Structure 1
Amino acid sequence: MTLVEIEDLCAGYGTGQVLFDVSIDIEEGEIVSLLGRNGAGKSTTMRCVAGAEPPHVLDGSIRVNGEDITDTKTYKRANKGIGYVPEERRVWPGLTITENIRMAINNTTDPLDMDRVLSYFPRLQDLEDKAARNLSGGEQQMLAIARALASNPDVMLMDEPSEGLAPYIVRDVEEVITTLNEEEGLTIFLVEQNVVMAMDVSDRHYFIDQGQIVDEMTPSKLKERPEVRQKYLSV
C-alpha cells in the first residue's frame, strides 16, 4: 500500500522556485531516504510534507493514506498521521523530557502512552525530569524522535537526524530508526547528509538535484554505482 504520495510538487520561497515536479512514493513499512547535495531541495521537500513554514506549494499534491493534505494546516497534520523530527531538533528547551513528550500526547487524538514511548529510549528514562536545554545533542535528538513518536504517526519525517552528532551517537540513532520500523511498523521518510547511515537503514533512495528527482534505487544498487555517489553526493 502506498502511504505517502508526492506528485508533481512545485514549491519555493517568496518569488523563488526550489522544487520542480517532484514525485515520490513511499510504501507502508518502508524507510525511504532523499539524498542530494546541500541546496538540492531535500529539506524543502520534507518541510512541504510536514507543512512547516516557510516554503509554499505552487503546484502538485501531497497525499497521506490517500488523503490530500497539500493545503492542510501544519497543526492538523499530526492527526493526519504525520510525525516530524525537524532539522536541529527544536525541542522546547525550558521543558523537561516528559513535558516535551506530553505536549505531543496532549495535542494528538490517538497518541501513544508515555511508557511505551520511553521504552525505546532508555537513556531518556533516566533523565525524564531534566530540562531539554541541559541535554547533550544526542539526547536532544532522541527527545525529538520520542516527541514525534508520541503522536502515533503512520509516517515519521526525519530531517538530518545525524547532523552534528558524534559517530557513536549516530549509531544509536540508526538503531532507534531500525527498531521503530521493525517493532512499530513505522514508515520513515528520511533526509540525511550522512550517506553511510542512509544506506544502512533505508529500503530505497531518491536522488534530488537542483530541485528535481533525478534517480531512484536500492542501497545495494547504489553501492554498485560509485559514479552516482560522486555526481550527486560528492562521496
Structure 2
Amino acid sequence: MAHRKWIVWIRRAILLVLLGALVYHSTIVIQIIRFRTINPRMTALMRQRAREARARGQVPKRLQVWLPYERFSPHLVRAVLAGEDPRFFVHHGFDWDQIREAIQENLEEGEIVRGASTITQQLAKNLFLSTSRNPVRKLHEAVITVELEMLLGKRRILELYLNVIEWGDGIYGAEAAARHYFGRSAAQLTPEQAAFLAAIIPNPRETYNPARHPARVERRRRIIQRRMRHVLIPAPFRAASAKAAESAFAP
C-alpha cells in the first residue's frame, strides 16, 4: 500500500514539473514573439550581473546602445561568425559538426579558440537564463534554442545577439563595445578591430579580458582574422557596406 502511494506521489510530482515547464516555456514563447519587433530592455544576464554587483556593494554598470543589423560593420558580422558560429546560416540552432570540430581545434591550438555553442544557443542563455552550467539550465537552453529558431529569422537572431551579449564589465552589445575599446561606432570597425571584439566574446571579464590577458586575446584575434576570409554571408544577410568588406579580403 505504501509503495503504491509513493508511485502516485512520484507521478504527481512529475506531472507538476512538466506542467511548470509548459507554463514557463509558454511565457518564453510569448516574449520571443514580442522580440520579433520589440527590442528587449533587459536580459537575464544583465539582471544577474546587476545582482552580483550589488552583492559586492557596487552600483551596477550598464553601457548599451542599440544598433540595427544593417548598421553593423560587415567585418564585425564576419568576425563573430568566424569565432563563434561559422555555419550559423545553415544549421537550425545546433551544429553537431561544429561541436566536433571545436573540440579538435581547441586541442590543436592548446586553448579555447572557438566555442561549441551556436549563436542561437548563446542568445537563449543571454536572454532568458544564467551562466550556470547545470544540466537543467542546459535543457532549458536547448528548448529555447529551438523556439528562437522557429519564431525568429536568422537576421533577427543575429541582430539581437550583437546587441545584447556581454563585451566587458557592464558593456553590452557591439556598439557600446566598439565605443569603449576603439572610440568609434560598430558601423566603422576595421577587420582587425572586429576580430578583436570577436576574440573576447567567450569570456570578456576574465579569460579573454584584454586588460589582463592581452597576449591571449591577440593570439585569438589573429586566428579569427585568418578565418574571416573563409566565412560566407548569404546575400540577404549582408549589410549595405558589405562590398567594402568583401574587397578587404580580395586577393
Which bracket does the TM-score occupy, shorter chain normalised? Answer: under 0.3
Give 1 or 2 for the bigger CA radius of gyration: 2
TM-score, normalised relative to structure 1? 0.26
Q: Which has the higher strand share?
A: 1
Structure 1 or 2: larger helix share? 2
TM-score by length of 2: 0.25
